[in-house]
């Protein structure tokens, strides 16, 4: 047995050898565990055999003399920071099954000059190659779609970056401080370029008055003229594109512009007017923040999303009261009412519009379409809001930190953001004359039962029902749609006692009636449920269950119930 390696059930969890010119991982290992070789500063070369499928997080972190790594074709995943700060590592060939390079995978590998990326790679994670100072060129393979934030920051000798057809997203600061980066090849499928993605690069030093990239994204505009007309073909004004321009007074955006990104015009201190096209759909956070001279703006009718702090510290928003623009866009609520009815015609509640207010109830009009990110965040007094079927967007964290909230939600297909509703909040879903209520067990996140719950409520179907996962969601939903039979009545038939007892626990008499009306309880089961209600001192539910028992089986009380207690 090789005592240098700690191996159990195919997992190599540690190495205690003295290293040397070459370390060979033993055959039979399937997983190299987290931190297995971390800080082994004597290792210069590692050969990982076929059969290894996973390398854990920080597995080789800080192996400062490690110059060469041979990876097997069987490798499928590499953990975060797996080769972080391997100062001597010069090249790496990644096998074909790697789909994602995780956070800080090769962070500060200061000698890394050559990287061969696999054909199946989809995403390069945050800070994956940050600080790889000797890396000169990076070419992403076909199928790659995303570079996350800070991925290549401070790759100071990087000169060339190539993205394949179909590539979509470049995160903020992705290539920041890559001073020699002058050649950037990206397809017109790129629809998102984060703030400062090419900050302090030769690429941004382009002599062009306006620098565009990807699918019509305007990245920057040189300071100079007081009046600027953005050329045709631009579809979005990128993050910080005009920011800190102190000379421009008037801007005209052409037809076709659909989005103004975060902080695009922030601190354009002389800006007095801007002409916006009818094609505009999204204005992101802080887009016009600190444009002190901006006193008026005409927003087109078709805007669907408006971020938070868009007009903070502008002449337009100098009045501390409620700000509604064009009769359609509620930018900020500045009233003192606890109960507020949105004016007719309002279609969008902007990000952070009510944040921090003392509002208690909100009644939107039937034409409301969007509740944007953080619109009601930190409204501790908010107890009730009705979200009509017309609402097609509930933004991220729209109702976060509203601990008392009971939201009534009309059926309708809509986009929902991360954390738009939070743990402990009560949601009442209505579908014509049907409705059911749940209390969220967790925040809404992608892929969670809570996310599935929102999808089911928007489009109830037998296929979506099992995805609700938790009895706390399955029982109310099944009771609501039990009239349709099938999976709903079958679920309740198998779980009828648990369902009735659940309705007792939450003191929901309406749900108790729904379940009893199904007529699925046997006499003994009815007695068990009645006894449980007595035990929980849920007297209203106890009465309902015993009355149902009497109607179904001819007695309101009998030995079946007595047997449950030592009176």
Closest CA to 109 of 81, 147, 144: 81
Tokens 């369902």 belong to residue: 499
Q: How far is CA 260 from CA 236, 266, 328, 371, 500, in A?
A: 6, 11, 18, 18, 52
Task: Let me know: does 119 contact 96? Beta carbons within 8 Å.
Answer: yes
Task: Let me know: does 91 contact 69? Beta carbons within 8 Å.
Answer: no
Sheet architecture: strand order including 160-162: 137-139, 160-162, 183-185
- Measured distance between the N- and C-terminal CA atoms of the chain, rounded to whole angstroms: 67
What is the structure's pLDDT at 1? Answer: 47
**CA–CA dist 245, 265 (Å, integer):** 8
**CA–CA dist 469, 426 (Å, integer):** 18
Q: Residue 377 corresponds to which tokens in the numbers above?
A: 């965040």
Instruction: Please provide the DSSP assignment of 517-551 as one string.
Output: HTT---HHHHHHHHHHHHHTT-HHHHHHHHHHHHH
Task: Let me know: does 187 contact 166? Beta carbons within 8 Å.
Answer: yes
Cα 83–4–53 angle (5° rounding)?
A: 45
In this structure, what DSSP letter does residue 468 have? G
Cα 485–491–497 angle (5° rounding)?
A: 120
**CA–CA dist 282, 306 (Å, integer):** 6
For residue 362, give the 3-state DSSP assignment: strand
Q: Provide the CB-side half-sphere exposure for 7 (13 A, CA).
A: 15
What is the structure's pLDDT at 2? Answer: 61
Q: Residue 513 corresponds to which tokens in the numbers above?
A: 């009636």
Task: Let me know: does 18 contact 41? Beta carbons within 8 Å.
Answer: no
For residue 410, give the 3-state DSSP assignment: strand
The series of mean pLDDT values per 10 residues for the chain, 567 residues long, is 83 83 92 96 93 98 95 97 97 96 98 96 98 97 97 98 97 97 96 93 88 95 92 96 96 97 97 98 98 96 97 94 96 94 96 96 93 97 96 98 96 95 97 96 96 96 97 98 96 97 97 96 94 95 94 69 52
Q: Provide the CB-side half-sphere exposure for 29 (13 A, CA).
A: 25
Task: Let me know: does 38 contact 58? Beta carbons within 8 Å.
Answer: yes
**CA–CA dist 350, 339 (Å, integer):** 19
**CA–CA dist 438, 429 (Å, integer):** 9
Task: Let me know: does 488 contact 460? Beta carbons within 8 Å.
Answer: no
Which strand (E) or helix (H) includes residue 69?
strand 68-70
**CA–CA dist 36, 13 (Å, integer):** 5
Phi, psi of 101 (to 5 degrees): -95, 120
Q: What is the pTM of this model?
A: 0.88
Phi, psi of 240 (to 5 degrees): 65, 20
């Amino acid at each position: 047995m090789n005592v240098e390696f700690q191996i159990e059930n195919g997992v190599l969890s540690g190495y205690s050898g003295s290293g040397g010119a070459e370390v060979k991982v033993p055959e039979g290992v399937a997983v190299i565990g987290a931190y297995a070789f971390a800080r082994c500063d004597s290792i210069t070369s590692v050969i990982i055999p076929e059969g290894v499928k996973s390398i854990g997080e920080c597995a080789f972190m800080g192996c400062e003399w490690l110059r060469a790594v041979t990876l097997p074709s069987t490798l499928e995943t590499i953990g975060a920071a797996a080769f972080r700060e391997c100062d001597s590592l010069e090249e790496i060939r990644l096998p074909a099954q790697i789909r994602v390079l995780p956070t800080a995978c090769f962070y500060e590998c200061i000698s890394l000059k050559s990287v061969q990326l696999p054909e199946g790679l989809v995403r390069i994670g945050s800070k994956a190659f940050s600080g790889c100072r000797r890396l000169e060129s990076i070419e992403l393979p076909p199928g790659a779609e995303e570079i996350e934030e800070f991925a290549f920051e401070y790759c100071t000798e990087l000169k060339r970056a190539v993205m394949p057809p179909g590539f979509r997203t470049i995160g903020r600061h992705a290539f920041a401080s890559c001073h020699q980066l002058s050649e950037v090849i990206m397809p017109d499928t790129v629809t998102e370029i984060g703030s400062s993605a090419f900050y302090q690069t030769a690429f941004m030093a382009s002599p062009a008055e306006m620098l565009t990239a990807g699918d019509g994204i305007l990245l920057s505009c040189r300071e100079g003229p007081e009046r600027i007309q953005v050329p045709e073909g631009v579809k979005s004004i990128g993050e910080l594109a005009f920011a800190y321009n102190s000379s421009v007074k008037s801007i005209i955006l052409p037809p076709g512009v659909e989005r103004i990104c975060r902080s695009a015009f922030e601190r354009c201190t002389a800006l007095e007017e801007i002409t916006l096209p009818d094609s505009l759909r999204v204005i992101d956070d802080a887009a016009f923040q600190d444009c002190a001279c901006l006193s008026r703006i005409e927003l087109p009718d078709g805007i669907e999303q408006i971020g938070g702090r868009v007009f903070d510290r502008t002449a337009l928003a100098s009045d501390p009261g409620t700000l509604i623009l064009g009769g359609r866009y509620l930018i900020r609520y500045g009233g003192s009412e606890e109960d507020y009815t949105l004016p007719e015609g309002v279609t969008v509640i902007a990000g952070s519009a009510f944040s921090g207010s003392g509002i208690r109830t909100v009644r939107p009009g039937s034409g409301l379409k969007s509740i944007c990110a953080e619109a009601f965040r930190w409204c501790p007094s908010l107890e009730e809001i009705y979200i009509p079927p017309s609402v097609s967007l509930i933004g991220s964290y729209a109702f976060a930190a509203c601990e008392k909230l009971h939201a009534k939600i009309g059926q309708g297909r809509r986009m929902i953001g991360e954390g738009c509703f939070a743990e402990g909040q009560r949601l009442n879903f209505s579908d014509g004359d049907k409705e059911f209520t749940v209390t969220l067990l967790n925040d809404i996140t992608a892929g969670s039962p809570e996310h599935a719950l929102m999808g089911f409520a928007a489009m109830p179907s037998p296929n979506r029902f099992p995805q609700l996962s938790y009895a706390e969601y399955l029982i109310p939903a099944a009771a609501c749609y039990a009239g349709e039979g099938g999976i709903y009545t079958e679920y309740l038939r198998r779980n009828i006692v648990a369902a009735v007892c659940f309705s007792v626990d939450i003191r929901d008499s309406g749900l108790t009636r729904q379940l009893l009306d199904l007529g699925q309880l046997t006499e003994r089961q009815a007695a068990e449920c009645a006894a449980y209600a007595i035990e929980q001192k849920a007297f209203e539910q106890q009465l309902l269950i015993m009355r149902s028992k009497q109607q179904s089986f001819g007695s309101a009380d009998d030995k079946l119930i007595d047997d449950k207690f030592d009176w």
